[in-house]
Amino acid sequence: MKTQPLMIRTLHSVEELEEVRRLETIVWSFDDSVPVNQSMAVVKNGGFILGAFYEDQLIAFQYSFPGFDGKKVYLVSQSLGIHPDFRKRGIGEKLKMEQRKTAANMGYDFITWTYDPLETVNGSLNLNKLGAVVKSYLPNVYGLMNDNLNAGIPTDRFLVEWHTKDDKGIRESEQILPHALITGGGDTRFYQPEKVDLSITAKKMYVPVPGNFQEIKKVNLPLAKAWREQTGIVFTHYLEQGWYVTDLVKSEGNTNLYLYLLEKGDSNEN
């Protein structure tokens, strides 16, 4: 992608939205793609769809629609898809930054979406790079699913909030903080969750998660389920007590371990 710059713009026409559906079919499947009449309705009623183009080819998209919880209007970030040939090039982050700018120009104060807290690539983008926060843990949001990423594991999710006018700046590296979940097992390739601590009173803490969750699922499904269960207990308890998840950092010296930073306070109160 050195010969031409990536171009990102909002999409409006039926032809463009048909292109998006074709790309969705490649990324996921036709059954999981959004019908054009629905995406057009979103575009005409407060939402938008961004397209990323390289050499006039649509290679990625981001789909957002308005949400309302009875008190405030916000933007829901529904999906972001990148063609398999163009992944790991920072396109997702570029789309998210354009999404934030577009949302702010349209008057949205914040954007929300969900992701699996055990998927550390997504966590690193959402929290460490974008500066979003998490205030809610949602157990088994989509029920049991049979796709490659979710099969056999409850679909627990973090609910992310990303404020359009807030810039958290540079993130910190690993600090010395108490851990709400003790890991062990003696195998640095497949760490095990051993003990939950729900009594921490410090202002900051870490919750460790594996950096290779999908690999663990393939090799040891009971261990993957244990990670889901134990982290679910910790996140549910502390987020209900007013904590926020504000960052994800890689554990120094532990290739397959990441640390979620939880803080007690008034981070981005609405």
Q: Would you say residue 267 has pLDDT above 60?
A: no
**Torsion-angle region of 186 (φ positive above 0: left; ψ -120 to 50: alpha; else: beta):** left
At 153 the pLDDT is 87
* Predicted model pTM: 0.87
Determine the average pLDDT of the residues in 96-105. 97
State the pLDDT confidence band at 170, using cuts at 50, 70 and 90.
low
Determine the Cα–Cα distance for residues 105 and 90; give it in Å rounded to an integer.
23
C-alpha count within 13 angstroms, C-beta hemisphere, residue 69: 9
The count of residues in the chain is 270
At 1 the pLDDT is 45
pLDDT tens digits, 175-190: 889 999 999 876 778 9
Nearest to 123 by CA among 248, 21, 216, 266: 248
**Average pLDDT across the chain, whole number:** 91
State the pLDDT confidence band at 270, using cuts at 50, 70 and 90.
very low
Q: What is the DSSP string of the chain?
A: --SS--EEEE--SHHHHHHHHHHHHHHS-STTSPPHHHHHHHHTTT-EEEEEEETTEEEEEEEEEEEE-SS-EEEEEEEEEE-GGG-SSSHHHHHHHHHHHHHHHTT-SEEEEEE-TT-HHHHIIIIIIT--EEEEEETTTT----STTTTTS---EEEEEEETT----SPP------BSEEEESS-SSS-EEEEE-----SSEEEEEEES-HHHHHHH-HHHHHHHHHHHHHHHHHHHHTTEEEEEEEEPTT-TTEEEEEEEES-TT--
pLDDT tens digits, 133-145: 999 999 999 887 7
Determine the Cα–Cα distance for residues 264 and 41; give it in Å rounded to an integer.
40
Q: Which residue has the higher pLDDT, 63 or 189?
A: 63
